[in-house]
């Protein structure tokens, strides 16, 4: 079988900043700034920097409103900070996520912002699936106590590098968002800032990343907060990068760390030609896969 022809795109050199976030927002932002400087000192040719979920605030249901702010390059504290950081360092920046206040509805969202090299906001994703779980003998956590869900799948363009999709943490458990990015935008990668915990992380963190990569034959990138056992929520850590074959090509530990990787889109044609699932889907059989339905009772 001949290789599938895809647009010629440049490899994307990325740095994932696995950071801790405490109670002081200014300290959290300064920590981001220092780690960005360190990443670019180590790898000056880095194209894109990614931050973890809730990098400017504690990850706590009862704190989201307190730390929330309007998303605005003009008036939003963290939005302005991220925009200036991307522009001053000439990098794309996937800004993890922050608690966003909608000034019209007064609702709070868990929102990720992405900026281009000029500091322009090019991508915004509100976490679509809220993390409401109660694991017997494990963890109980209910984001919907303070957050509202987003209502769209998100993907956007990185110029010469092509399109990427974006989800946040729990979104990775729902394969539809990644599938939309791959099929509608021909994305070469899916990025997820995420804060799995020490119960769910060992169970499914690696499995889900590799599954989404194999499902869609593209790169999957996960950036976690560092693990802080003094906080109320213990993040799993282990930020990682998975290639289109499902191989883990880079992985962090649990402490603060900068993880580097290169996403080479030239891998995609070989993978997709070898196992051509992209062209063998039977929508005549499952054309109603997105229809509304009532889940069967347990």
* DSSP string covering 77-123: HHHHHHHHHHHHHT-EEE---EEEE-TTT--EEEEEEEE-TTS-EEE
Q: Does residue 142 have an active-site annotation? A: no
Q: Does residue 87 have an active-site annotation? A: no
The catalytic residue among 25, 127, 143, 251 is 127
The rounded distance, in Å, linking the Cα atoms of 41 and 114 is 22
The catalytic residue among 25, 169, 223, 251 is 169
What contacts 282, CB < 8 A, 6 or more positions away?
Answer: none
CB neighbours (10 Å) of residue 127?
25
Half-sphere exposure of 41 (CA within 13 A, CB side): 7
Helix (H, G, I), strand (E, B) or coil at 222: strand
The catalytic residue among 25, 53, 69, 257 is 53
The rounded distance, in Å, linking the Cα atoms of 83 and 85 is 5
CB neighbours (10 Å) of residue 256?
17
The rounded distance, in Å, linking the Cα atoms of 143 and 156 is 26
Burial of 185 (0-12, 13-18, 19+ CB in 10 A): middle
Burial of 236 (0-12, 13-18, 19+ CB in 10 A): buried
The rounded distance, in Å, linking the Cα atoms of 115 and 241 is 21
Residue in this structure with the two tokens 């580097």, named with its chain if needed: 260
Q: Does residue 169 have an active-site annotation? A: yes
Phi, psi of 144 (to 5 degrees): -70, -10
- Residues serving a catalytic function are 53, 127, 169
């Amino acid at each position: 079988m001949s290789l599938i022809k895809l647009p010629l795109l440049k490899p994307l050199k990325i740095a994932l900043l696995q950071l801790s976030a405490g109670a002081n927002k200014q300290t959290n932002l300064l920590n981001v700034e220092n780690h960005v400087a360190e990443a670019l000192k180590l790898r000056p040719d880095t194209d894109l920097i990614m931050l973890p979920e809730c990098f400017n605030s504690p990850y706590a249901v009862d704190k989201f409103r307190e730390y929330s702010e309007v998303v605005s390059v003009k008036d939003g504290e963290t939005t302005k900070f991220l925009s200036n950081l991307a522009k001053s360092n000439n990098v794309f920046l996937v800004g993890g996520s922050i608690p966003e206040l909608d000034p019209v509805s007064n609702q709070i969202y868990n929102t990720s912002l992405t900026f281009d090299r000029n500091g322009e906001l090019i991508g915004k994703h509100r976490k679509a699936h809220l993390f409401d779980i109660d694991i017997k003998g494990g963890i109980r956590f209910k984001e919907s106590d303070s957050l509202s869900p987003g209502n769209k799948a998100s993907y956007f363009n990185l110029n010469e590098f092509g399109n990427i999709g974006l989800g946040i943490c729990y979104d990775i458990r729902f394969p539809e968002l990644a599938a939309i990015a791959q099929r509608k935008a021909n994305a070469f990668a899916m990025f997820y800032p995420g804060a799995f915990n020490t119960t769910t992380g060992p169970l499914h963190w690696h499995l889900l990343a590799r599954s989404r990569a194999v499902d869609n034959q593209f790169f999957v990138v996960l950036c976690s907060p560092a693990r802080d056992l003094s906080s109320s929520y213990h993040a799993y850590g282990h930020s990682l990068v998975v290639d289109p074959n499902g191989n883990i090509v880079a992985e962090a530990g649990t402490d603060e760390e900068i993880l580097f990787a290169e996403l080479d889109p030239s891998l995609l044609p070989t993978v997709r030609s070898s196992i051509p699932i992209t062209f063998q889907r039977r929508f005549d059989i499952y054309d109603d896969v997105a229809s509304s339905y009532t889940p069967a009772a347990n």
